[in-house]
A = this chain, B = another copy of it.
Amino acid sequence: MEAPPSGSAFLLAQVGAHAAMRFTERIGALDLTPPQVGLLRLVASRPGQSQQALAKQLGTPATRLVPLVDGLEKRGLIERRRNAEDRRLYALELSEDGRALMGQVARAAASHDRTITAVLTEDERATLHALLTKIADDQGLTPGDARGRLS
């Protein structure tokens, strides 16, 4: 019975929720929500996919993508291009403005990361990252996984 006073899993959930909340605030300054950033990241990493394909990767019903893409398209961040071979499908891509905004998101994420781990030394930061990666692998979480809330 040498268990820590407060469970690690509980701490993990608490600190993780805090990190997510702070990141939500940061991208809010760019007028973006976590679901929007999640979609933009996916389109940026693999352009030209259909909405159905994106919905599967996000683990969300396809109907949710419609208003999500609508909003980003109206702001000129994303483009719906028709697929010439199968005219039912769209091919989603980032616009020039979209790519520029994703650059800002990346800078916000890097700054966010430094803020959250500010109290750790460089070695501790590397150790934390290694331990979290170990758990993520063990629990079957993939790097870009957007399921379960957050960007």
Contact = CB atoms under 8 A, between A and B. Distances in A.
Interface string A99-142: 00000000001101101111110001111110111111111010
A113 B7 contact: yes
A19 interface: yes
Interface residues of A, number: 51
Interface stretch (A64-72, A79-87, A143-151): A143-151
A76 interface: no
> Within the oligomer, what is the number of copies of this chain?
2
B127 A11 contact: no
A124 B138 CA distance: 14
A16 interface: yes
Contacts of A132: 8, 11-12, 15
A148 B18 contact: yes
Nearest to A142: B14
Contacts of A112: 7, 9
Most B-side CB within 10 Å, residue of A3, A16, A23, A132: A16
Given A7-B112, A124-B131, 15 more contacts: A7-B109, A8-B113, A9-B19, A9-B112, A9-B113, A9-B116, A9-B117, A12-B16, A13-B19, A17-B20, A116-B139, A119-B135, A119-B137, A128-B128, A128-B131
